[in-house]
Amino acid sequence: MMSLFFSGCSITWGDELEDRLNERYSTLVSNHYGCQHYNLSERGISNDNIVRNAIKYLQNYNPDVVIIQFTVASRMEYYQVNEKICRFTIQPTFIPPELKQTHRDYYTKVYNEVLGVENMWKNIFLFDAYCKSVGQKYISLVADHFDPSIRKPEKFYKFGNGYWRGLCKDYEPVWMHMGLLQHTKENPNYYANGLSGGHPSAEGHKVIANKIIELIDAI
């Protein structure tokens, strides 16, 4: 029997769905094939976290296909002295009170667009290299959130900052927003909050699932 593994952020987790476990695209895809699947997704996590979770899983299991969903480039993380991992995200909801000031300092004094986007491409390169090293088949999606700097980072090259993007020049992911779901003006029913955007709706998850099925069948 086929087995599938999914790793991602709140989109793959199924945030804002009325029946999360049954309406999210991981369930729809596995139902289509009548197979088992494991969804190791979390809300608010970074690309570092998504890739680390996926590789840890793959060190112990061998699914037929991995579906990995990369997230917002601005989400970062760091290790404290006690080795605890702390998350940095533009969304302050996920920041504990004792780290609020550190969080503000990071995004005003350290973080910039180049850092975030290049870190995303570094994670994409790392995961691709790992999968090739173990012969793992995978499909990748990028939650680009209408951010042109992710899809068209040419402006980084003139500053010599597009190294990791350059290593991924043949990478062809599914661009979830600008490519697949498109803008809320075109398809408001694909988003949980309609024209206001938000996470994909149940209809949006169906669109994502159908694309993944198409790609799995083509492998």
pLDDT given at position 106: 84
Out of 3-7, 27-31, 82-86, 191-195, least confident range: 82-86
For the chain, what percent of residues have pLDDT higher than 90? Answer: 51
Q: Binning pLDDT at 50, 70 and 90, where does residue 81 land?
A: low
Q: Is 104 left (phi over 0), alpha (psi -120 to 50) or beta?
A: alpha
Q: What share of the chain in percent tops pLDDT 70?
A: 89
Q: What is the pLDDT of residue 152?
A: 61
Is residue 3 helix, strand or coil? strand
Domain 3-218, what fold? Rossmann fold (3.40.50)
Under the phi-then-psi rule, with left for phi > 0, alpha for psi from -120 to 50, and beta for the rest, what region is 182?
left
For residue 78, what pLDDT is reported?
76
Q: CA torsion 216→192→195→152, rounded to 10°?
A: -40
List the domain boundaries for the chain. Answer: 3-218
**181-189: which pairs have CB atoms within 8 A and are 24 or more residues apart?**
181/207, 181/208, 183/146
